[in-house]
Amino acid sequence: MVLAAAFVGVVLWALAGSAWAWGAVCFVLGFGFLYHARHLAAFHVWLRRPELHAMPQGSGVWEEVLADLHGRLKRHEGTLGQLAHSLARLRAASQALPEGVVMLDSAHHIDWSNATAARHFGIDPARDTGQPVANLVREPAFVAYLESGEHDQPLVFRSTRSPTVLSVRIIRFGEDQKLLTSRDVTDEERLDVMRRDFVANVSHEMKTPITVLAGFVETLANEEMPLSAPQRRKYLGLMSEQAERMRRLIEDLLTLSSLESSAAPADVEAMDVSNLVERLAEEARALSMGRHHISKSVDTSCRIIGNPAELSSAFSNLVSNAVRYTPEGGSIGLSWRIVGGRGIFSVQDSGLGIEPRHLPRLTERFYRVDNSRSRESGGTGLGLAIVKHVLTRHQAVLEVESEFGAGSKFSAVFPASRLHGDAANRAA
């Protein structure tokens, strides 16, 4: 614009004199000033609300400037969109994590937390952002861990808000920022307790027979203590009983291990339940030795689809328990019937019954209602645990009905999918 004004001024100076030259220069410069002022005013108005679609249109040099600015803003807007999309995906991924994540500043104030952390620590993201995390998680062990500055190892503690056991760790990142991560280890802690209890129980169960055997072996080997033939036979008989007790315990442990090694039984077939119940009744009579009245009732219209060895072992455990814990003169009834499209094998006795407080724990390993009575009867404490595992593998459940002092009824309930025969077809 200045060059154009100078050119016009020089030409008019030569042709018309200085007055016309200066007038033309002023006119050109004034026109240029108005041209730029108009575009600057429009640009200034747009800057108040710089929306890409509302950018003013220019002419001349302003057209080039605004077009270049429009292109740059469009690319910038695309970059911001990609960043926002990536951030949204990152936040969504963080929210979906099974571990809790809390972002803390240098003073341990909450900057952000995902849903899992909110559940673990009772954080309300809308209310508690900016609050010190120690105000929300007041467990002394956590507060000491937070302030210690030594975060190489995680801290495991039980939350007072719930029975949840948490493993938390603090990780530094950025400039004096920290990530507080949390993981629910309740199941792991429970399994660890169960593992320790299992080892302790096995050790306890093995200790007594081993001690008895060692004592009798030492007695028999002592030449300075002569034993009569009846004494020797008595000691050998007691040693045989303890050895048999250990054998049964080891067999039950191996059975449990085998059941837990796979989720479904192999070699399934349609079993004739009437034959199985007949055999179990004979076993009950042999174990009872005439001390109980044994009866059976079988619906022959339906069979069980399952593994014969596993189901025979499970049913046999129920029958032997009934014989062991029913006083002399009592009755034991075995039955197989179809009720509501389900197959039910039941063993009912007139024994002492079980108090309600014991019922939820009957299938736990080594759980005994009466320790002395269980051991005297020859039980290993694993029978009902085996029953539960076998039934679970066959999609069946164990139902227990018992009244203390009036007997018990243990029922293995099978779904229609495990039945084969006329009754099963009618149910289908």
Dihedral sign for Cα atoms in the order 412, 417, 421, 422: positive
Q: Please tell me the predicted confidence (pLDDT) of residue 371.
A: 55
The pair of structure tokens assigned to 48 is: 């108040």
Integer Cα distance of 163 and 187 in angstroms = 11
Give me the chain's average pLDDT, please. 78
pLDDT at 340 over 70: yes
What are the start-end ranges of the H helices in 173-272? 186-221, 229-260
Q: Please tell me the predicted confidence (pLDDT) of residue 377.
A: 52
Longest dimension (CA), the chain: 157
More confident residue, 401 or 255: 401
- Residue range 402-423: average pLDDT? 84
The pair of structure tokens assigned to 40 is: 């600057």
Residue type at 265 in one-letter notation: P
pLDDT at 298 over 80: yes
Q: What is the pLDDT of residues 173-232, one digit of tens each?
A: 877 788 888 888 888 888 777 777 777 777 767 777 788 788 878 877 777 777 777 887
Residue type at 136 in one-letter notation: L
DSSP, res 355? -
pLDDT at 21 over 60: no
Q: Identify each DSSP E strand in 380-418 by its residue range.
A: 397-403, 407-414
pTM for this prediction: 0.56
> How many residues make up the chain in this entry?
428
- 3 state SS of 124: coil
Of all residues in the chain, the percent with pLDDT exceeding 90 is 7
Q: Please tell me the predicted confidence (pLDDT) of residue 334.
A: 93
DSSP string, 291-314: SSEEEEEE-TTEEEEE-HHHHHHH
- Residue range 65-69: average pLDDT? 72
- Contact yes or no for 344/413 (Cβ under 8 A): yes
Q: Please tell me the predicted confidence (pLDDT) of residue 152.
A: 83
Decide which of 3.40.50.1820, 1.20.58.100, 1.10.287.130, 3.40.50.1970 is the CATH code for 192-260. Answer: 1.10.287.130
Q: Please tell me the predicted confidence (pLDDT) of residue 410.
A: 93
- Residue range 309-325: average pLDDT? 88
Q: Please tell me the predicted confidence (pLDDT) of residue 423.
A: 54
More confident residue, 336 or 152: 336
Confidence of residue 103 (pLDDT cuts 50, 70, 90): confident
Q: Please tell me the predicted confidence (pLDDT) of residue 293.
A: 92
pLDDT at 353 over 80: yes
Q: Which residues contact 21 (CB under 8 A, 6 or more apart)?
A: 8, 9, 10, 12, 13
Integer Cα distance of 45 and 55 in angstroms = 10
Domain edges within the chain: 2-91, 98-184, 192-260, 269-427
Based on DSSP, count helices (H) and strands (E) in the chain, helices before strands. 14, 13
pLDDT at 404 over 80: yes
Of all residues in the chain, the percent with pLDDT exceeding 70 is 79
- Contact yes or no for 268/305 (Cβ under 8 A): yes
- Contact yes or no for 211/181 (Cβ under 8 A): no
- Mean pLDDT is lowest, of 9-23, 266-280, 368-382, 387-401, for 9-23
Name the CATH architecture for the domain at 269-427: 2-Layer Sandwich (3.30)
CATH of domain 98-184: 3.30.450.20
